[in-house]
C-alpha cells in the first residue's frame, strides 16, 4: 500500500503541532503539505519544522500552499494538484463543510478535530452532527473514502477512552463524565486557548447533558462539582455542552448519563461573566456606527492569538473520563486519562498543551489510516473504531495515558495540592 500524501489544512496552534509531528513521523507518509490563508504563518512554521526535524542535507520536509479553505473548488484543486490521499482538517470549524465536500469530490480520506460550525448563530439544538457531518456519510461510503470525525483530544481521545472502557472494563456502562482541566497559566489577564469566538460561544451556550435517552438543558455554569485529578490536583469543574456528547449519546445508547465538565478558575469566570452579562459573548451581529459586527468577534480581535500563548505557558492539563458501570456483576468506577505539560510540549514542538493534546491524536490517527489499520471506508465518529491500536500508538507519538479504579463513593484518590 502506497504511503498517502498528506494535506494539512490550518496553520493555527493545532496546525503547528500537527505538522511538526507529521514531519517527525514522515516515514509513514508521502509528501507533507501545510495549507492555510496566511503565507507568512505557513513559511514560519515550515521553517521551524525544517530546523527541528530535518537531518543534515535533507530536502524541504514540508511544502506550503495558500488556500481559501471555505472554497470547495480551491481545496479540491489543491488535493488534485498534490495527489493528496489524506486530508487533516485542523482549520477553523467554519471550513468543515467545504473541506468535507472537497474530499467527497476527490474521493480522499478525511479527518477533523471539531464539529463544523456556522457563523453568527448560537444555541443550535442537538444533534449537532446532523447539520454538517452525518448528512455526508453516505457520500463518503459511496466513494469508499474514510472520514474520522472529532479526532482531537476532546472530542477524540476521550471517545476512544469510552470505547476502551466498553471493550475491556465493563459489561454495561451507567455513566460517562468527561472532565477537562487546564491547570496551566499563560500569565496574561485573559486569553482563550483556541479560536476566541468558537471558544466563547461553546462556553456561553446552554449546557446539554444526555440523561436517560434525552437531552437536558440548563444555563451555562449553573452546575459544578469539585474534583481532584492526577498531577493537577483539586479543581471546580462546570457542566458544559461539548462535541463528544453528541456522538457518544448515539454510540452508547444504553448509557443513562453522559456529561462533560470543564474547569474554570474564579478569575476566568469573573471576566467571562462580565462579558456575557454585557452581551459581548454573543455571536449575533449588532449595528455599531452603521456597520454590523458580532460582539464575540470584537473580543477575538482584542484577545491575544492563542498560538502566541505557548512560549509563556506553565503548568499541566488533565483530560479524562470518569466512567461507572457493572463488570462481572459488580459495580465499578474507573478514571482513564492523560496529562500534558505546557512547558514540555512547547520545548518539543513550540505549542502549548491545548494545541499539543489536539495535534498528537491527529497524527496518531493519521498514521493508523496511512498504514490501513483504521480504514472504515465511510464516515465514523472515532468511538466506532477499535480503540486498541490507537491507544497502543499514542504514547509513541507523544501522549501517555493511564487508567485506575476509583472509589465507588465518588471521591478522588489524588491529592488536592500538587
Give contact residues for a copy of itself (rule: CB under 8 A): 189-190, 270-271, 274-275, 277-280, 286-289, 291-295, 297-303
- Residue 234 or 269 having the CB closest to a copy of itself: 269
CB 136 within 8 A of CB 168: no
Calpha distance 357→339 (Å, rounded): 9
Calpha distance 272→189 (Å, rounded): 12
Calpha distance 191→252 (Å, rounded): 35
- Residue 282 or 338 having the CB closest to a copy of itself: 282
- Residue 113 or 281 having the CB closest to a copy of itself: 281
CB 376 within 8 A of CB 34: no
Calpha distance 50→124 (Å, rounded): 42
**β 147-149/109-112 pair status:** parallel
CB 351 within 8 A of CB 12: no
* Rounded least distance, CB 284 to a copy of itself, Å: 11
* Rounded least distance, CB 288 to a copy of itself, Å: 5
* Rounded least distance, CB 312 to a copy of itself, Å: 17
- Residue 174 or 280 having the CB closest to a copy of itself: 280
Q: Which residue shows C-alpha cell 491524536?
A: 361
What is the rounded (10 degree) CA torsion for 27, 46, 87, 356?
90
* Rounded least distance, CB 309 to a copy of itself, Å: 15
- Residue 52 or 297 having the CB closest to a copy of itself: 297
- Residue 125 or 219 having the CB closest to a copy of itself: 219
Cell of 286: 449588532
* Rounded least distance, CB 121 to a copy of itself, Å: 15
- Residue 41 or 332 having the CB closest to a copy of itself: 41
- Side-chain-side CA neighbours of residue 355 (13 Å): 36
Cell of 392: 497502543
Order of strands across the sheet that contains 109-112: 63-66, 32-36, 5-9, 84-89, 109-112, 147-149, 379-381
- Residue 280 or 406 having the CB closest to a copy of itself: 280
- Residue 167 or 270 having the CB closest to a copy of itself: 270
- Residue 278 or 326 having the CB closest to a copy of itself: 278
- Residue 407: is it exposed, middle or buried by C-beta count within 10 angstroms (0-12/13-18/19+)? exposed
* Rounded least distance, CB 116 to a copy of itself, Å: 19
* Rounded least distance, CB 194 to a copy of itself, Å: 18
- Residue 265 or 279 having the CB closest to a copy of itself: 279
Amino acid at each position: 500500500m502506497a504511503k498517502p500524501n498528506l494535506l494539512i489544512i490550518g496553520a493555527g496552534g493545532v496546525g503547528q503541532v500537527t505538522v511538526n509531528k507529521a514531519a517527525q513521523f514522515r516515514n509513514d507518509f508521502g509528501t507533507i503539505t501545510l495549507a492555510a490563508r496566511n503565507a507568512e504563518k505557513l513559511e514560519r512554521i515550515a521553517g521551524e519544522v525544517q530546523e527541528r526535524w530535518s537531518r543534515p542535507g535533507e530536502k524541504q520536509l514540508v511544502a506550503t500552499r495558500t488556500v481559501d479553505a471555505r472554497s470547495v473548488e480551491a481545496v479540491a484543486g489543491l488535493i488534485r494538484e498534490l495527489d493528496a490521499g489524506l486530508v487533516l482538517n485542523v482549520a477553523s470549524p467554519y471550513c468543515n463543510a467545504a473541506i468535507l465536500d472537497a474530499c467527497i469530490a476527490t474521493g480522499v480520506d478525511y479527518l477533523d478535530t471539531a464539529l463544523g460550525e456556522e457563523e453568527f448563530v448560537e444555541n443550535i439544538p442537538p444533534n449537532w452532527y446532523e447539520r454538517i457531518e452525518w448528512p455526508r456519510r453516505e457520500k463518503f461510503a459511496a466513494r469508499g473514502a474514510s472520514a474520522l470525525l472529532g479526532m482531537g483530544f476532546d472530542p477524540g481521545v476521550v471517545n476512544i477512552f469510552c470505547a476502551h472502557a466498553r471493550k475491556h472494563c465493563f459489561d454495561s456502562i451507567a455513566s460517562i463524565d468527561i472532565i477537562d482541566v487546564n491547570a496551566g497559566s499563560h500569565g496574561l489577564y485573559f486569553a482563550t486557548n483556541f479560536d476566541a469566538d468558537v471558544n466563547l460561544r461553546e462556553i456561553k451556550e446552554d449546557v446539554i447533558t444526555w440523561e436517560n435517552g434525552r437531552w437536558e438543558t440548563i444555563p451555562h455554569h449553573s452546575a459544578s462539582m469539585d474534583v481532584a485529578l492526577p498531577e493537577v490536583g483539586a479543581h471546580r469543574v462546570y457542566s458544559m455542552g461539548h462535541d463528544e456528547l453528541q456522538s457518544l449519546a448515539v454510540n452508547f445508547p444504553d448509557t443513562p448519563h453522559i456529561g462533560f465538565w470543564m474547569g474554570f478558575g474564579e478569575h476566568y469566570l469573573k471576566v467571562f461573566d462580565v462579558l456575557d452579562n454585557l452581551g459581548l459573548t454573543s455571536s449575533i451581529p449588532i449595528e455599531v456606527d452603521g456597520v454590523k459586527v458580532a460582539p464575540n468577534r470584537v473580543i477575538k480581535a482584542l484577545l491575544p492569538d492563542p498560538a502566541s500563548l505557548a512560549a509563556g505557558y506553565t503548568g499541566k492539563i488533565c483530560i479524562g473520563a470518569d466512567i461507572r458501570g457493572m463488570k462481572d456483576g459488580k459495580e465499578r468506577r474507573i478514571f482513564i486519562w492523560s496529562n500534558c505539560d505546557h512547558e514540555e510540549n512547547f520545548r518539543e514542538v513550540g505549542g502549548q498543551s491545548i494545541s499539543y493534546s489536539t495535534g498528537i491524536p491527529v497524527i496518531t490517527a493519521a498514521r493508523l489510516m496511512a498504514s490501513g489499520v483504521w480504514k472504515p471506508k465511510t464516515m465514523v465518529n472515532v468511538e466506532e473504531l477499535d480503540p486498541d491500536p490507537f491507544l497502543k500508538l499514542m504514547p509513541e507519538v507523544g501522549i501517555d495515558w493511564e487508567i485506575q479504579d476509583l472509589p465507588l463513593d465518588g471521591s478522588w484518590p489524588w491529592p488536592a495540592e500538587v
